Structure 1
Amino acid sequence: MRHAARHRSLAVLLLLLALLVPTGGPSATAAAPVQVYGAWHCGDDYCTWSTPRTVAEFDAKNHWLVDRGDGRPSVNLVVLSFVDPLKLLHRTTDATTVNGVPAGMSREIVQYFTSHGIRVMLSIGGITYTDAWDAALAEDAGQLGRNAAAVAADLGVGIEIDYEQNTGPNLAGLQNFIDAYRSLHPYDASGADPAARLTLDTAAGDRWLIDLNRKATADWLRTDRPVLDYANAMVTARPASASTHTANWQEHLDGKSQFSPPVAPLAPAKFTAGLYLAYGRSPLPECTDFANSLQKATGDWVRNAAPNGAGTTAGLLGYMFWATEKPSTRGLGTQEPDGCEGGAGAGATAFGVPVPMGPLRQS
């Protein structure tokens, strides 16, 4: 009886230890969910969106975005790229533009996505419109912000700032733009108001767009007083290895204390990781083969990346992919009949991406 009692006591002790000490060390902690899984969309005319399109024609080339093969969308966000900031400021109407917005970014195209539970944003800028950003900010940054806010409310979309001025960006003007936008669409942690979603693109790592990145990290992407919802770490100059991508993303987490002035660390919950869908003339696994893709190879890192001076929770918000349909005059696009169901679509299933997108982590 004494031996049996000791065995029972030992069994109870081992059970308690097993409950108190998780196996596998840090890896036992649940990975953060992928909350943002989106694609920049360049339309069929190399990111100008200059021609109106019917929904039927658009769907024939983009159906994979709303159907990964089982009726569920492949992404939960589409960012229509790009709006010319100077035309938006002037509310230009011409052969390619309607009240400052490219003619192809129509209400019907927005509703094509939103009717499937996919959030839509408009990207202002891109590298082509860097000078236009400079001119618009210098002329009337506040009015540009108010015009962007009006378009967002009218179409039921969010706005992305893609200001790629690497040398002497007009940060005071951009602050005025943001202040004007937020005066009409205050920050909304719930994510319920599409027009309140305001984001920023920054470089893949911390060594380009440094002034913009420094300002954004210090003043707009803080978890204690958020101004922008999050930033997108854009793609590298060309597709790279998984280790190169994660090293770039780690720079945002670490900041650059050696810079003068320094760049502060960025909270993992305040940015997404960028990867290519298409590049050159060969399909990328990101589009066609999830099992051999970079999103699969980097998935554990992205979902478990630890804070290093900012934020309290681990894991980036998710992924953004460059770019859908025809982003360049050269190379391969992502048009049907194949689309990217086997890459991004399969990734949405593997990562359990929520459609529609829910509230985002705030810390």
Structure 2
Amino acid sequence: MRRRSLLVRHRLLAVLGLLVALLIPTAPSSAAAAGTPPQVYGAWHCGDDFCTWGRVRSVAEFDSMNHWLIDRGDGRPSVNVVVLSFVEPQKLLRLTDDATTVDGVPKGMTPEIVQYFTSRGVRVMLSIGGITYTDEWDAALSENATQLGLNAAALASRLGVGIEIDYEQNTDPNLTALQAFIDAYRSVHPYDASGSRPAARLTIDVAAGDRWLIAVNRKATADWLRTDTPVLDYANAMVPARQPSASAATASWQEHVDGKPQFAPPVPPLAPAKFTGGLYVAYGRSPLPECTNFAGSLQSATGSYVQNVAPNGAGSTPGMLGYMFWAAEKPSTRGLGTQPPNTCEGGVGAGATAYSVPVPMPPLRQG
């Protein structure tokens, strides 16, 4: 009887052990978890006036609001690129001087602010457009797309920065003129795979997935973001209307990897090495874990996907290019920004450490 009890007990323990093994997922190998580390890990930056950059700021005052970007707590930057947002396209075309702009550029986008970042190894880019300036993009492209491209190239040379195209026209975008803008820019700053010339860095923003900004995304993927004949350096898959779940974020990014063959005309697949994924760090009235708590953040929860997603028809290497965060300091008239006391060393900065983000940014994968 005792032997039978022991046998039953051993069988129960074996069954329990099997159940535990099934319920607790096996941890991936370190190589699988690590994958391809992010090369781009950056933040769009809206200044302190909701993306206008309309006034000159002292470096000391700017640092008091933004020190976390250049110091994650141990003296190393939290990011390796910042994108100052936004330049108004029509003003850049016409080299406008007004209360907030000089030579077509927001007054706050000064050489001193650029140097604040570049002196710490952080790359700087200027974003032209944004959703607020969609009509201005249309008008400037219609007026003189080539001159707009030449003016953008001259601005990049003058400040030692790259340029981001943020043309958020969802219905009938002027792609012929946008091609002329890109051709003009590249006539001054040819594509540079080494990444050694800041002004040669030219990128574009696309939607979080393939179902908005479809025409812009289709053109960019088919003609400008190819791995065999690259024209633009990479794309940023922007944030959706609100912070997604981890599964929703990766589903959107997978749409770019897969393309949309069922669309007419189809959207081709995009190489994972040719785009970043966007997440919010400032949204609503409560601090986000993406800003303050890496362990609970989406950049942590999606890390395995971002580092390991396989190409599906374009590209040859696994892993997306990295992350971009919307947006530093004060992106909206409502809700929190990332200025003190809501700074992001614990989220973005801790992620830079966890992923061993290189600062300065290295030459980017080309496929």
TM range (shorter): over 0.9
Gaps of 5+ in 2: 1-26
The amino acid across from 1:123 in the alignment is: S
Once the two structures are superposed, the pairs formed by residues 72-87 of structure 1 within 5 Å of their partners are 72-87=76-91
Q: How far 1:29 moved relative to its partner?
A: 8.5
Distance 2:239 2:34 in 1: 27
Structure-2 residue corresponding to 1:317? 321
The amino acid across from 2:102 in the alignment is: V
Q: How far 1:275 moved relative to its partner?
A: 0.3
The amino acid across from 1:353 in the alignment is: V
Q: How far 1:338 moved relative to its partner?
A: 4.2
Contact 1:79 1:120 in 2 (8 A): yes
Contact 1:276 1:322 in 2 (8 A): yes
The amino acid across from 2:180 in the alignment is: N
Is structure 2 residue 121 aligned with structure 1 residue 114?
no
Change (3 A) 1:261 1:247: same
Distance 1:292 1:29 in 2: 17
Task: Give the structure-1-normalised TM-score.
Answer: 0.92
Change (3 A) 1:113 1:271: same
Q: How far 1:25 moved relative to its partner?
A: 8.8
Identify which of 275, 280, 304 aligns with 2:284: 280
Structure-1 residue corresponding to 2:102? 98
Q: Partner of 1:279: helix, strand, or coil?
A: coil
The amino acid across from 1:154 in the alignment is: R
Structure-2 residue corresponding to 1:159? 163
Distance 2:203 2:308 in 1: 22
Deviation track 1:226-275 (CA, whole Å, cap 9, x = no partner) reads 00000000001001110000000000000000000000000000000000
Is structure 2 residue 308 aligned with structure 1 residue 304?
yes
Distance 1:154 1:165 in 2: 28
Give the CA RMSD over aligned residues: 1.3
Change (3 A) 1:346 1:28: closer
Distance 1:279 1:232 in 2: 19
The amino acid across from 1:296 in the alignment is: S
Is structure 2 residue 44 aligned with structure 1 residue 37?
no
Distance 1:298 1:24 in 2: 14
Structure-2 residue corresponding to 1:361? 365
Structure-1 residue corresponding to 2:180? 176
Q: How far 1:24 moved relative to its partner?
A: 7.0
Is structure 2 residue 70 aligned with structure 1 residue 66?
yes
Contact 2:307 2:319 in 1 (8 A): yes
Once the two structures are superposed, the pairs formed by residues 239-318 of structure 1 within 5 Å of their partners are 239-318=243-322
Q: How far 1:337 moved relative to its partner?
A: 3.7
Q: Partner of 1:47: helix, strand, or coil?
A: coil
Q: When the two structures are aligned, how many residues end up with a matched partner? A: 341
Identify which of 137, 161, 164 aligns with 2:141: 137
Gaps of 5+ in 1: 1-22
The sequence identity of aligned pairs, in percent, is 77
Q: Partner of 2:49: helix, strand, or coil?
A: coil
Distance 2:333 2:33 in 1: 45
Task: Give the structure-2-normalised TM-score.
Answer: 0.91
The amino acid across from 1:225 in the alignment is: T
Deviation track 1:165-186 (CA, whole Å, cap 9, x = no partner) reads 0000000000000000000000
Structure-1 residue corresponding to 2:4? none
Is structure 2 residue 224 aligned with structure 1 residue 211?
no
Q: Partner of 1:278: helix, strand, or coil?
A: coil
Is structure 2 residue 201 aligned with structure 1 residue 200?
no
Q: How far 1:26 moved relative to its partner?
A: 11
Contact 2:34 2:304 in 1 (8 A): no
The amino acid across from 1:61 in the alignment is: M
Distance 2:227 2:355 in 1: 25
Q: Partner of 2:314: helix, strand, or coil?
A: coil
Is structure 2 residue 244 aligned with structure 1 residue 225?
no
Contact 1:145 1:178 in 2 (8 A): yes
Distance 2:343 2:335 in 1: 15
Distance 1:362 1:196 in 2: 15
Distance 1:138 1:304 in 2: 41
Contact 1:61 1:337 in 2 (8 A): no
